[in-house]
Amino acid sequence: MRTEQRFSLLCALVLVAQLFTLSSIPFEIHEPWDKVWHFLAYSALTLLLWIGTDGRRPVVVVALVMVLGAMDELRQSFIPTRTADSMDFFADLCAAIITAGALAFFTRGKAKPCAESSPRSPRAT
């Protein structure tokens, strides 16, 4: 695993920790900014997981983001001052699908460098 993949996965973990920590604040952001922030946060999470998996498992990335979005809303339903909202989950799901779709579209057909296709350095004689 390359360094940028490790760093990306670490950043994704930090983002998930922040999402679950900040969702326990005693107030809610007003519409429509709530959905915008959900979309941006889960889009960033999708991007970080995409980089972390090197784009090799897009379905797993979308499924993981979807599960995290559902867990976030479920968790909010247990906080007395918060409410779970299916539209928040829908914004999370849309962010994951749109971001993964855009990443798949823009990276399709790009050859990934590997040891076999990399130019070899001339041997020292």
Tens of each residue's pLDDT in the chain, 125 residues = 788 889 999 999 998 888 878 765 656 667 778 889 889 999 999 999 999 999 889 999 999 999 999 998 898 888 777 778 899 999 999 999 999 999 999 988 766 666 555 565 555 55
pLDDT at 116: 59
Contacts within 8 Å (CB) and 24+ apart, 42-46: 42/68, 42/69, 42/91, 42/92, 42/95, 42/96, 43/95, 43/96, 43/98, 43/99, 44/15, 45/12, 45/15, 45/16, 45/19, 45/96, 46/95, 46/96, 46/99, 46/100, 46/103
pLDDT at 79: 79
pLDDT at 120: 59
pTM, whole model, 2 decimals?
A: 0.79
pLDDT at 25: 63
pLDDT at 14: 92
pLDDT at 30: 72
Residue found by looking up tokens 């959900």 in the block: 38
pLDDT at 77: 85
